[in-house]
A and B are shown apart, each in its own frame.
Chain A
Amino acid sequence: MRTLHKFHGGVHPPTHKLESTRSPITLAAMPSRLVIPLHQHVGNRAKPVVEVGAQVLKGQLIGRAEGRLSSAVHAPTSGTVLAIDMQQVAHPSGLPDLCITLKPDGKDQWIDHSGVDYTQTSHSDLRHLLRQAGVVGLGGAVFPSDLKAYAHKHKIHTLVLNGAECEPYITCDDMLMRERASDIVHGAEILRELLHAEEVLIGIEDNKPEAIAAMRQAVSGCAKCRMEVVSIPTLYPSGGAKQLIRILTGIEVAAGIRSTEKGVQCFNVATAYSTWRAIAHGEPLLSRIVTVTGNVANAQNFEVLLGTPVDELLAQAGCKADTDRYIMGGPMMGVQLPSNRVGITKATNCIIAASPALFPPPPPAMPCIRCTRCAQVCPAELQPQDLFWFAKSDNFGKAQEFHLFDCIECGACAYVCPSHIPLVNYYRYAKSEIWARERETEASEVARERHEYRLLRIEREKQEKAEKLAQKERATLAAKQASAQPSTSAVEPDDAAQQRIEAALARAREQAAASHPQNTDHLTPAQQAEIAAIDARRAQAHAAAAPQPNEDK
């Protein structure tokens, strides 16, 4: 028996997983159109490589990975490209992003594709294939997997496979493990190979006995695999990568440190599955399992083509009439979708139809009574009540000193707070404010440097000119053999320039302090989008963290 380790805190929210595990994974119906964002991963947005009106085949590349940190996007089915334009996307910022709209032709005709034998393929080729197939982390982080399956600096001893799925309502990994365990195990074996890891630990919460059994069987069927399926106690957020690593290995990976530095890498089970499909079958990432649950008649898991509009998917589960909001992800960390027309992305593990009855609005927030229930459940071992205080009073320096950026926004603190304070909103607000300020200082730093450089040049030129003038004058004077009265003209312009420069610098300083320089002219679209996203997040956090009417300020 493996000794399991504990992480601090954690909560036991009602799981609501039974609703969506009663029926097997169903292939979702072919939607009327697909809205496929070109930015479904961490990193640069993919570059569209098809034209409007083009006929594409299933699996055909439609967005090329742009730069090192990026991922490819493919046509999930055969059809016609209707548009390449900005559309609303399933992203917390609620900002539109570049999408390819595809009209399926109903034939679902594959492009030529074939897999490789991974044992006969070099690691760099395998990584290339992963990149080509657009495989990214499907647990929600959507980090390109080829980059994660590469450990050149550190020796990796353990590959942790995350099947914990601790968020309430979500069961896509559970069902995937129950039904496709052997593909997962094979995919994990490829990832282990790529990392030269000694062993694979598959962590699954003990409220999924079927998944544990299926995975155990798959592992026992793979004689040479060094894998172990570990049943871990159900405790939110055990599925957080750092928490799971702690539970399985006892290693604590501090914020800001990569787990690889401690010899551990972590992948989601669905990512391992997609890895296997990509390598062994040559199938790019075209679909994913999505739990559709909440205020629906038949909660279940669907295999959904990326880009499928949320409303068409929900209709298949029998979305009830009083649904007023749509949540992507679970109730603890999920985000409310800007609309039900957005397309499913690689990050969409769950869609919850929410109604006022299902998630009643919280009662008005009361002041913090310092009861430390939040601190008792915080898995990052922070003092949420202090962070709240600092965030609320805009004391961002203190908030950072108290490890604001170690907060994983798991929501456990807000879940238990008896004063119903939307704590995480305050942390989001503080973080985005700090980011925005850092960006502003950076931008103004650049602007200041440029400005000063220009002033310096002007000054130098002036000085040179004055120098020349003076020399000329001196020469003329000498030539005229006038009285030996040294010219002051060389000094005067200098002084004047100095004064002007000082005045200009003062003005620049004033401007830097007062304005918000938008130094956006040389940024890539990705950077611009990121900035816009941060701004939107900031505005949102602002609104959400607006002082409660009955709270002391």
Chain B
Amino acid sequence: MWMSPFFTRSTSVSQIMLRVLLALLPGVALYVWYFGPAILVSMTLASLTALCTEAAMLKLRNRPLKPFLSDNSALLTAWLLALSIPPLAPWWLVVVGTAFAIAVSKHLYGGLGSNPFNPAMIGYAVLIISFPVHMTHWLAPHGVGSLELSFSEQLAYIFNSALPDGATLDAITTATPLDTLKTQLHMGSTVTETHHMPIYGYLAGKGSELVALGFAAGGLYLLLARIITWHLPVAFLAALFVTAELFHLSNPAQYAAPLFHWFSGAAMLGAFFILTDPITSPTTAKGKLIFAACAGVLTYLIRVFGGFPDGVAFATLFMNICVPLIDAWTQPKVFGKKGGKP
């Protein structure tokens, strides 16, 4: 017999995921504007790979295809991964990363809802560990590189690794602003000197800072649409800001300003789209604050003192491990058992 409640509010998982995908669009649009349409190619590649892998895994695990293929979660994983790796990455890099993310870090752990780690970040981690060189070839923003590829040339490079005659990889790609800063500091320049380099814009990397702003705008939409709560993004950004500010105050020449960190790398993407993956983040409000704050501090430390170009992925993965503990520690008091209150 069917029991109460007899009706439900009909926002489905697939609608929620779809809105998250939509919220990524402003950032993606700016991305295309500043770095060319290559990112759309890798997003499409990742999407196709994700859907195929998802279907294959569902078949293997004997699950119905339709409800799970239409839940949009695989697409979201694909997009997040594509946005985390260089747009000019060769096609097989995207395919390998996405397939690994879906097959291993999602389905081998039990599929939707059961994966302890953020699949996109697992995909990223696997790629950066296995193919570190390919992961550093970022496109220079519009108007900065010595040579800009047309769309067909970008396609040719993605699928055939073919560059136009006379062009070198160095001419069209550059290190990320975060990486550049690290290298420059090693070579003895100060933060201020570095900021005068052409790849820097107002606060952080030219172009990429605006892409980050686009992601932040999408995140704001998610907040307003109540898809996510404020806890994760606010705690993450606040922790990143405070940590950066403390170091910056101690030595402004050596440590970049907090806003630089906010608008560099995957900070905004992480704050609003990656950490907020509900499956791999804590469920309690207090737990979310702790989780995201720790991730913020870790991100900073990995960025500044670690060997990787960005810290968001590893900070996220590390904090993913702690989720069960955090949840267990932060169980809120239930109705009537809080004491104190009137």
Closest 3 CB pairs of A and B: A254-B336, A367-B113, A411-B5
**Contacts A250-B342, A418-B12; A424 near B335 (Cβ below 8 A):** no
Rounded to whole angstroms, the CA-CA distance of A354 and B342 in the bound complex is 42
Rounded to whole angstroms, the CA-CA distance of A253 and B333 in the bound complex is 13
Rounded to whole angstroms, the CA-CA distance of A382 and B68 in the bound complex is 28
Residues of B within 8 A of A329 (CB): 4
Question: Which among A214-222, A331-339, A436-444, A510-518 touches the partner chain?
Answer: A331-339
Since A414-B5, A418-B12 are in contact, a sample of 14 more A-B pairs with Cβ atoms closer than 8 Å, ordered by chain A residue number, is A8-B335, A252-B338, A254-B337, A255-B334, A331-B7, A364-B67, A366-B113, A367-B111, A386-B283, A409-B4, A428-B3, A549-B64, A550-B64, A550-B68
Q: Digit string of B5-27 for contact with A (CB within 8 Å is 1, else 0)?
A: 11111011101100000000000
Contact A403 B334 (CB under 8 A): yes
Contact B336 A335 (CB under 8 A): no
Q: Please provide the chain A residues from 1 to 55 with a CB less than 8 Å away from any CB of chain B in the complex.
A: 5, 7-8, 11, 13
Residues of A within 8 A of B281 (CB): 370
Q: Digit string of B277-303 for contact with A (CB within 8 Å is 1, else 0)?
A: 011010110000000000000000000
**Contacts A242-B335, A257-B336, A385-B283; A418 near B4 (Cβ below 8 A):** no
Residues of B within 8 A of A415 (CB): 5, 7-9
Contact A253 B8 (CB under 8 A): no
**Contacts A331-B4, A362-B8, A415-B8; A372 near B283 (Cβ below 8 A):** yes
Binding site for B on A (CB under 8 A): 5, 7-8, 11, 13, 94, 242, 246, 250-255, 257, 325, 327, 329, 331-336, 354, 359, 361-364, 366-372, 375-376, 379-383, 385-386, 402-403, 406, 409, 411, 414-420, 422, 424-425, 428, 540, 543-544, 549-550, 552
Query: In angstroms, how far is the closest chain A Cβ from the Cβ of B15?
Result: 7
Contact A544 B8 (CB under 8 A): no
Residues of B within 8 A of A416 (CB): 8-9, 11
Contact A370 B8 (CB under 8 A): no
Partner of B3, one of A251, A253, A383, A425: A425
Contact B342 A251 (CB under 8 A): yes
Binding site for A on B (CB under 8 A): 1-9, 11-13, 15-16, 63-64, 67-68, 71, 73, 110-114, 229, 278-279, 281, 283-284, 327, 331-338, 341-342
Rounded to whole angstroms, the CA-CA distance of A11 and B5 in the bound complex is 12
Nearest residue (CB) in B for A330 is B4
Rounded to whole angstroms, the CA-CA distance of A425 and B5 in the bound complex is 9
Contact B63 A333 (CB under 8 A): no
Contact A331 B110 (CB under 8 A): no
Task: Jot down 24 A-B pairs with beta carbons below 8 A, ordered by A.
Answer: A5-B342, A250-B341, A255-B336, A325-B2, A327-B6, A333-B4, A334-B4, A359-B7, A361-B2, A366-B12, A366-B67, A369-B112, A369-B113, A370-B281, A372-B278, A380-B335, A382-B334, A383-B332, A402-B331, A416-B8, A418-B12, A419-B12, A550-B68, A552-B112
Contact A379 B335 (CB under 8 A): yes
Contact B5 A333 (CB under 8 A): yes
Query: In angstroms, how far is the closest chain B Cβ from the Cβ of A262?
Result: 9
Rounded to whole angstroms, the CA-CA distance of A151 and B279 in the bound complex is 49
Query: In angstroms, how far is the closest chain A Cβ from the Cβ of B70?
Result: 10
**Contacts A336-B1, A368-B113, A543-B1; A418 near B15 (Cβ below 8 A):** yes
**Contacts A367-B112, A418-B16, A552-B113; A381 near B335 (Cβ below 8 A):** yes
Contact B1 A366 (CB under 8 A): no
Partner of B278, one of A8, A254, A325, A370: A370
Contact A11 B334 (CB under 8 A): no
Contact A418 B13 (CB under 8 A): yes
Rounded to whole angstroms, the CA-CA distance of A377 and B63 in the bound complex is 31
Rounded to whole angstroms, the CA-CA distance of A382 and B336 in the bound complex is 11
Residues of A within 8 A of B12 (CB): 363, 366, 418-420
Nearest residue (CB) in A for B283 is A372
Rounded to whole angstroms, the CA-CA distance of A354 and B1 in the bound complex is 14
Contact B335 A254 (CB under 8 A): yes
Residues of B within 8 A of A549 (CB): 64
Rounded to whole angstroms, the CA-CA distance of A402 and B229 in the bound complex is 23
Partner of B283, one of A336, A383, A419, A425: A383
Residues of B within 8 A of A380 (CB): 334-335
